Structures are given as C-alpha cells and as structure tokens.
C-alpha cells in the first residue's frame, strides 16, 4: 500500500530570513521532491508608491540589514539615471569601495558565522553547539578571525557612511561625503589582518574539500544550469555597473555564452518571474528559454563562472586552482562557499588598488540636477547576485511604479533542486523507515540552502525574516513528520 | 561573591524586520566572545539550530513588527516563555518601514502588485495553509499584542546601545538609556 508522506523542517535556521522546507514522498515511499518555502512578504513594490525617488535609498536599504549597501547603491544608480547625470569619478570609486566592503562582510558572515559550523563541527554535531558560539569554543582562533573579518568590512562601511547598517550615504548624483586621507589610511591599515583571515579560511576549507567533503560536491546541488551576472570589460570579474562594466552575461554550463552585453534597461525583455502558490519567493528565469531551461544561478558561483579572470594576482591564482577542482564552469553549488572566500580575497585586492588611487580623495563627489527622466533601471552585484531596481516617477520625482529583482530570488529554482537532490540521496528507504529521522540528515538538507546564502529578507523584496522548518508529507498530502529540533 | 551567578538564557527573535537589528547584534563583534561566557544563546535565527522556542528564557531581543500569522504565533510563545522581553529596534516598536503598508487597505494591494502585476502567466496569490502564513491586514508593533519590558529603539540600535542594555539585563538591572543620544529612532 502506498503511503505518501511529507517531512517538514520548520524553521530553517542559520539562514538570513524565514523559511521552511517540505519533503514529499512518492507512492513508492521514496523522496519525490523537496520544496523551499519562503514564508514572508512585506510589499515594498507597492508601499513605496508616492514617495520621492530620493528617499528610495533609505527605504529600500530596510529591505535587508545584511546587504543594505546593495540596495543603497542600486537605488542611487537608478537615481543617477533619473537625474540623467554622470556622477563624479571619485563618487564612482567610493561607491565601488563600499560595495567591496559589503561583499567582504556579508561573505564573512555567511562562511564563518552561519555555514562553517556545519563542516567544522560536523553535520551530526550537537545542534545546541552547532553555531558561531559553538565555533568560538571549538576553534576560537578561526571564530575570532571570522568576527574580525566581518568587523573590517562593516568598519569600512561605517568609515565611509557614518554607520555600519543603513548608512544614508549614496545619493542620486553621487555620495554625500568624500574620503579623507586619514580614513583611507585607517582602512589600509586593516588590510593585512583581513588577508590573513581569508587565507586561513581558504586553507581550512580546501583541506576539508580534499578530505571530508567530497561527497557534498556531488550531492549538494550539482547540476547544469544557466549562470547570470555582470562582467567587466576584458572578461573580468565585476561587481558594479558603471566604469568598466560590460553588462549582463548569461552563460550555459558548457561554457557557451547564451547572451552577452545585455543592458539592465531592457531586463523585462529577457527576464520573467513565475509564481508558485507555496512560496512568497517568486521564480525568475531567462525568458527565451522558459521557466525550466531558463532557470539560472547568480552570486559568487555565477560571477566566477562568467569571467575569464578576476584581475588581481592572488585571487586569480585561487581562481585557477578553483577551476582545477570544479571545472572551467563550476556546477557544484557546494563550491559557492569556496567562491565566496575567493571573492573576499578579490575584494581585498581591489580595495587596496582603489585606495592607492589618488583620485579617491577628490572632494567633488556629487552631481546635482533635477528630474530629467521618468523611468530608470539601476543594477548592481549584491553579495548574493544581481540586483535590479526599476522606478517610474512623475515630473515631481514621486514614485509611480517600482519593481525589484533581487539576488536570492534568482536562485530559487536552484535551491529547490539542491534540496531535492540532497533529500533523494540522503533519505534512503532505510533512513525513512526509522521511527525518527536523524537530525543530522535534515541539517544537511538545510545546509543545501545555506550554500546559496539566501537572504530572504531581500528575496521576497518585500518580505522580511525567515527561520526555516522541514516537513514530510505523504502521497495523500497528509503531514507525517515535522522536524523540531532541540 | 559566594556562588557563581547562573548563566542567563538569551534568545533573539526575528519577526517582520530586515535583520538589520540582528546584524547590529552581531556587530558586538568580539564582545560576543564575552557574552558567551555569561549567557547561553538558546534560540536565535543567526546563532542557533533550535527550532522551537524553549521554555524559561531570561532575555529575548525581539526584532520586527508582527506582519503575518507565523509572527503572531511566535510572539505569543515568546511572551509566555520569557522573563524580559525587549522590543528591539524601530520595527518592533512602531512597525517602521514594514508598517508603510498600513496606509493601504489591508494586505491585498501589496500582494496583488508582486504576484499578479509583476509576474508571468503563472500569476497567482501565494496560498498554502500550513506551509506559508497569511499576511495580517496591518503590521503591528510588538507592544500592541503582548506586554513589553524594555524598549530599545533605533534602525538599527547601535551595537553600543545593545551592549548597554544586555550588560544591565545580565546583571538583573534595568537598562538606563537616558544618557544623551542613547534614545533615538532611525
Ligand atoms: S528597525 Fe531598522 S534595522 Fe531593525 S529590522 Fe527594522 S528596518 Fe531593519
């Protein structure tokens, strides 16, 4: 007799937001599919209507406290285009500097605080200890390093914008304040320690990948898909629009370029979003190929696939080694973790270069103008992937329409495929026959989500927080098991 | 001191906010190492795998307003099992940015915009009872639903102010934020 069931993990923890996972068993009693449910929605696209476009940076920064700088920069970029100005070169460089700082702090949080307890303490370690505080007791040096690295990134944001979170600093036309030589020197002084921490993180992770984490490479979301993101001129790694950016590239897993040099202005012609009734997170896809074949991944894994080189010495060396490990186009989602550490290194090297450029101290940092355009799209690479803000304004600059395409959402299909792959692999008939599923196995399924470092505050752009949970459902749709830990 | 003070049981809770208040908590940086010597983090979306809110929590920092049925249920559980509930940040205290949707008529307009107007042919309103919660008509501040013991405003409150409050509560004192500039919104 077939008894189909469902398992729930609720909430998913150590991710940035509110979510649940449900695992559905087929008539044969084996895992058929797993679903990632984002459980929150706030409604920014609607309630921003009527606000002056100059407020959008401050409002949309509150989409997400982890990567507020991404929204700040995308909103400012959209604002530049509404003013129809090119911003002063120093402002361009300062914005890039802040984006680098934010990628550093956000990636450090993802790796050291949220994900590393899984593989440093072990999948099946005590769930009470499997967190940053457990890491502090088990490996205080590494934990302290991670905390210091995040602090470095946050400190740069504070040095530029006056506060660590929700700094009101980038504005349409540029930034509010120039950089002083003293602050520049303070930032520079922090670089060597940051380098040392990321080096340590790379050594630890690579060693684990060589020894204990081989299986994870093949089970944690290893599949072909498209990859989408910004690239720089000369096929370099890129994180910001403007300057040397060569637009959006879409690449297939075999390395073929599906589309190149796409402009954010036309995003609606090549991106579309599907809705499923069981999640507040939509499913964006590359329109020409449809929801299935057109699903793509964004973020560190995509950015490293899309470029030929990073453009700085140490990061490029790591990139070569990374490709030896994962192939020219890396399709193993578990390597998001390694890609994140390589990006931190890239950010530190680019930061150093920017700080050496005398133009970064120029005091003309803001261009002023009236509303000159009524519609604009701004794009930026957030730590988790490509971010688009699209505003329509009236002649007074009041918002008439808003659309936001946010990084994490674009990984939605990939996250669902990843947890399905892990659940099918780990939840064997023998495991499913146990009266109670092993906590460690369910943690591994959650860890599949953690590879993507989803920021669910952001992703339902409009939504808020998410602890995560897992549920197991039968073929009749009846709820069979819920994971409640502890 | 004769007997060592028992360790406090600390929780952090995330309702409808942006996680910025939690990030500010993590901005305590190396003080977190010290905190770990005086308290056990028994529930936290960023620092624990505990799925159910545990009993007998001494201090809970609650971020965010109450925007959906899950937020509401969790908040009630938190209140019932917590000695000192801190309304943590502007969203918790006055609904803040998420509360901007309160000017519209109910939750419907915000849902329609995202899932009907800005979607492909699969456009529909998410609805899956038991899996995803329904939005409440209004986003409410925490104190409108349950009694609050301590208010810590800010968007987010700075790490320094979080520390001031935690240091007091760890020593069973009432936090004093009356110094210049310590009580501020935004
Ligand atoms: S108060 Fe501010 S920082 Fe805190 S959750 Fe709300 S919007 Fe985010």
pLDDT for position A439: 82
Could you tell me the pLDDT band of residue A485, with boundaries at 50, 70 and 90?
A: very low
d(CA A158, CA B160): 14
pLDDT for position B12: 95
**Secondary structure (DSSP) of A38-58:** E-----HHHHTTTSBGGGHHH
Say if residue A144's pLDDT is above 70.
yes
- The DSSP 8-state label assigned to residue A87 in this structure reads P
What range does the domain containing B152 cover?
Answer: 8-177
What pLDDT digit, counting tens, does each position of A318-356 carry? 999 999 999 999 999 999 999 999 999 999 999 999 999
d(CA A198, CA A194): 6
Taking CA atoms only, the protein residue closest to ligand 1 atom 2 is B155
Could you tell me the pLDDT band of residue A16, with boundaries at 50, 70 and 90?
A: low
B131–chain A Cβ distance below 8 A for any pair: yes
CA dihedral A350, A451, B15, B77 (to 10 degrees): -150
Give the residue from chain A lying closest to B53, CA to CA. A486
Q: Atom of ligand 1 at shortest distance to CA of B155?
A: 2
- The DSSP 8-state label assigned to residue A109 in this structure reads I
Q: Are A307 and A232 in contact (CB under 8 A)?
A: yes
Instruction: With CB atoms and an 8 Å threshold, state whether B159 touches A65.
Output: no
Which pair of structure tokens corresponds to residue B110?
Answer: 């915000």
What pLDDT digit, counting tens, does each position of A361-374 carry? 999 999 999 999 99
Q: Atom of ligand 1 at shortest distance to CA of B24?
A: 3
pLDDT for position A159: 97
- Using CB atoms, pick whichever of A42, A68, A486 lies closest to residue B50: A486
d(CA A475, CA B121): 28
What is the radius of gyration, based on Cα positions, of chain B? Answer: 18
d(CA A182, CA A159): 10
Say if residue A294's pLDDT is above 60.
yes
Whether B2 is in a domain gets the answer no
Q: How many residues does chain B have?
A: 186
Say if residue A468's pLDDT is above 80.
no
Could you tell me the pLDDT band of residue A479, with boundaries at 50, 70 and 90?
A: low
| CATH code assigned at B158 | 3.40.50.700
CA distances (Å), A257 to each of A229, A248, A254, A274, A287, in order? 12, 11, 9, 24, 16
Residue with structure tokens 């990948």? A209
Query: Residue A432 Cα, ligand 1 centroid: separation in angstroms?
Result: 41
Give the number of other Cβ atoms within 10 Å of residue B168's Cβ. 15
pLDDT for position A484: 41
DSSP 3-state of A454: coil
Instruction: With CB atoms and an 8 Å threshold, state whether A133 touches B110.
Output: no
- Using CB atoms, pick whichever of B29, B104, B120 lies closest to residue A273: B120
The interface predicted TM-score (ipTM) is: 0.89
d(CA A224, CA A253): 5
Whether B186 is in a domain gets the answer no
What pLDDT digit, counting tens, does each position of B142-164 carry? 999 999 999 999 999 999 999 99
- Looking at CA atoms only, how far is residue A31 from chain B in angstroms? 18
pLDDT for position A478: 65
Dihedral of alpha carbons A135, A140, A141, A143, sign: positive
Q: Which of A34-38, A177-181, A400-404, B176-180 has the lowest mean pLDDT?
A: B176-180
Q: Are A280 and A274 in contact (CB under 8 A)?
A: no
Which of A20 and A143 is assigned the larger pLDDT?
A: A143
Instruction: With CB atoms and an 8 Å threshold, state whether B51 touches A485.
Output: yes
**Of A102, A108, A115, nearest in space to A65 by CA:** A102
Say if residue A215's pLDDT is above 50.
yes
Say if residue A184's pLDDT is above 90.
yes
A255: left (phi over 0), alpha (psi -120 to 50) or beta: left
**Secondary structure (DSSP) of A385-433:** EEEEEEEEE-TT-BEEEEEEE-HHHHTHHHHHHHHHHHHHHHS-HHHHH
Q: Are A273 and A282 in contact (CB under 8 A)?
A: yes
Taking CA atoms only, the protein residue closest to ligand 1 atom 5 is B17
Which pair of structure tokens corresponds to residue A412?
Answer: 């939605």
Instruction: Say what percent of chain A tops pLDDT 90.
Output: 65
User: Residue A59: its chain B contacts at CB < 8 A?
Assistant: 97, 100
| Partners of A332 in the β-ladder | A222
Residues 6+ apart with CB under 8 A from A138: A120, A121, A129
Say if residue A443's pLDDT is above 70.
yes
- Looking at CA atoms only, how far is residue B83 from chain A in angstroms? 20
Which pair of structure tokens corresponds to residue A67?
Answer: 């990567």
Whether B3 is in a domain gets the answer no
Q: Which of A163-167, A213-217, A268-272, B119-123 has the lowest mean pLDDT?
A: B119-123
Half-sphere exposure for A139 (CA within 13 Å, toward CB): 20
- The DSSP 8-state label assigned to residue A359 in this structure reads G
Dihedral of alpha carbons A81, A86, A89, A90, sign: negative
Whether B110 is in a domain gets the answer yes
Residues framing ligand 1 (Cβ under 6 A): A 62, 65; B 17-18, 20-21, 63-64, 89-91, 96-97, 155-156
Give the residue from chain B lying closest to A269, CA to CA. B120
Which pair of structure tokens corresponds to residue A248?
Answer: 């959006």
Query: Residue A173 Cα, ligand 1 centroid: separation in angstroms?
Result: 26
**Secondary structure (DSSP) of A126-192:** -TTT-SHHHHHHH-HHHHHHHHHHHHHHHHHHHHHHSSSSS---EETTEESS---HHHHHHHHHHHH
**Of A254, A249, A251, nearest in space to A238 by CA:** A249
pLDDT for position B128: 80
Half-sphere exposure for B131 (CA within 13 Å, toward CB): 27
Which of B33 and B107 is assigned the larger pLDDT?
A: B33
pLDDT for position A483: 53
Which of A279 and A86 is assigned the larger pLDDT?
A: A86
Could you tell me the pLDDT band of residue A486, with boundaries at 50, 70 and 90?
A: very low
Give the number of other Cβ atoms within 10 Å of residue A142's Cβ. 18
Q: Are B28 and B156 in contact (CB under 8 A)?
A: no
Could you tell me the pLDDT band of residue A482, with boundaries at 50, 70 and 90?
A: low
Say if residue A469's pLDDT is above 60.
no
What pLDDT digit, counting tens, does each position of B82-134 carry? 999 999 999 999 999 888 888 888 888 888 887 888 888 888 888 888 778 88
**Of A69, A87, A218, A210, nearest in space to A153 by CA:** A69
pLDDT for position A471: 67
Q: What is the mean pLDDT of residues A177-195?
A: 97
Say if residue A464's pLDDT is above 70.
no
Mutate to test the pocket of ligand 1, among A61, A62, A63 (most ligand atoms within 8 A of CB): A62
Q: Domain count of chain B? A: 1
A230–chain B Cβ distance below 8 A for any pair: no
Q: What is the mean pLDDT of residues A384-401?
A: 96
Say if residue A117's pLDDT is above 60.
yes
pLDDT for position A4: 53
A59–chain B Cβ distance below 8 A for any pair: yes
The pair phi, psi for residue A102, each rounded to 5°, is -75, -35
Say if residue B2's pLDDT is above 80.
no
The pair phi, psi for residue B158, each rounded to 5°, is -70, 160
pTM of the model: 0.91
- Using CB atoms, pick whichever of A13, A37, A479 lies closest to residue B49: A13
pLDDT for position B1: 43
Which pair of structure tokens corresponds to residue A382?
Answer: 């957030």
Instruction: With CB atoms and an 8 Å threshold, state whether A164 touches B27.
Output: yes
Q: How many residues does chain A have?
A: 486
CA dihedral A89, A91, A92, A93 (to 10 degrees): 90
């Amino acid at each position: 007799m077939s008894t189909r069931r469902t398992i729930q993990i609720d909430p998913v923890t150590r991710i940035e937001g509110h979510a649940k996972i449900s695992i559905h068993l087929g008539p044969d009693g084996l895992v058929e599919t797993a679903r990632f449910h984002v459980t929150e929605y706030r409604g920014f696209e609607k309630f921003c209507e009527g606000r002056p476009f100059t407020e959008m940076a401050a409002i949309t920064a509150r989409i997400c406290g982890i990567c507020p700088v991404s929204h700040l920069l995308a909103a400012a970029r959209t604002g530049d285009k509404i003013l129809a100005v090119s911003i002063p070169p120093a402002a361009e460089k300062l914005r890039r500097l802040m984006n680098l700082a934010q990628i550093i702090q956000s990636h450090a949080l993802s790796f050291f605080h949220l994900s590393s307890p899984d593989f440093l303490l072990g999948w099946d370690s005590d769930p009470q200890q499997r967190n940053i505080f457990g890491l502090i007791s088990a490996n205080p040096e590494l934990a302290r390093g991670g905390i210091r690295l995040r602090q470095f990134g946050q400190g740069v944001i504070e040095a530029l914008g006056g506060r660590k979170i929700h700094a009101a600093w980038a504005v349409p036309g540029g930034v509010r304040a120039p950089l002083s030589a003293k602050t520049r020197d303070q930032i520079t002084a922090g670089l060597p320690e940051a380098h040392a921490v990321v080096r340590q993180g790379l050594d630890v992770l690579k060693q684990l990948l060589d020894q204990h984490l081989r299986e994870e490479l093949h089970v944690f979301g290893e599949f072909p898909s498209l990859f989408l993101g910004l690239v720089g001129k000369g096929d370099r790694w890129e994180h910001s629009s403007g300057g040397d950016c060569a637009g959006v590239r879409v690449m297939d897993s075999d390395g073929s370029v599906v589309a190149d040099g796409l402009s954010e202005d036309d995003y609606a012609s090549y991106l579309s979003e599907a809705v499923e009734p069981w999640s507040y997170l939509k499913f964006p896809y590359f329109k020409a190929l449809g929801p299935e074949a057109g699903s793509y991944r964004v973020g560190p894994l995509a950015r490293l696939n899309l470029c030929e080189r990073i453009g700085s010495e140490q990061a490029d060396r790591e990139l070569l080694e990374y490709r030896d490990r994962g192939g020219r186009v890396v399709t193993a989602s578990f390597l998001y973790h390694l890609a994140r550490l390589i990006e931190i290194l890239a950010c530190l090297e680019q930061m150093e270069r920017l700080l050496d450029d005398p133009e970064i101290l120029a005091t003309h940092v803001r261009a002023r103008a009236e509303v000159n355009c009524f519609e604009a799209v701004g794009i930026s690479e957030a730590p988790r992937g490509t971010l688009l803000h699209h505003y329509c304004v009236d002649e007074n600059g009041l918002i008439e329409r808003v659309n936001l395409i946010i990084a994490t959402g674009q990984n939605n299909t990939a996250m669902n495929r990843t947890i399905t792959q892990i659940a099918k692999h780990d939840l064997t008939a023998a495991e499913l026959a146990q009266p109670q599923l092993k906590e460690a196995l369910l943690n591994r399924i959650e860890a599949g989500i953690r590879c993507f470092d989803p920021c669910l505050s952001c992703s339902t752009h409009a939504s808020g927080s998410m602890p995560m949970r897992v549920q197991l459902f039968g073929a009749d749709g009846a709820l069979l098991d819920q994971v409640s830990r502890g | 001191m004769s007997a060592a003070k028992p360790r406090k049981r600390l929780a952090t809770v995330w309702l409808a906010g942006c996680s910025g208040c939690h990030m500010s908590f993590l901005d305590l940086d190396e003080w977190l190492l010290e905190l770990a010597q005086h308290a056990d983090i028994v529930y936290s979306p960023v620092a624990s795998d505990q799925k159910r809110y545990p009993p007998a929590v001494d201090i809970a920092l609650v971020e965010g307003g109450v925007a959906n049925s899950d937020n509401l249920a969790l908040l009630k559980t938190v209140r019932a099992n917590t000695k000192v509930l801190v309304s943590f940040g502007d969203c918790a205290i006055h609904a803040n940015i998420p509360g901007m949707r309160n000017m519209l008529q109910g939750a419907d307009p915000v849902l329609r915009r995202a899932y009907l107007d800005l979607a492909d042919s699969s456009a529909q309103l998410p609805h899956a009872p038991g899996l995803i919660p329904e939005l409440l008509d209004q986003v409410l501040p925490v104190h409108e639903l349950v009694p609050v013991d301590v208010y810590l405003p800010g968007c987010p409150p700075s790490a320094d102010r979080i520390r001031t409050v935690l240091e007091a509560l760890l020593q069973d004192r009432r936090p004093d934020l009356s110094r210049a500039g310590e009580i501020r919104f935004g």
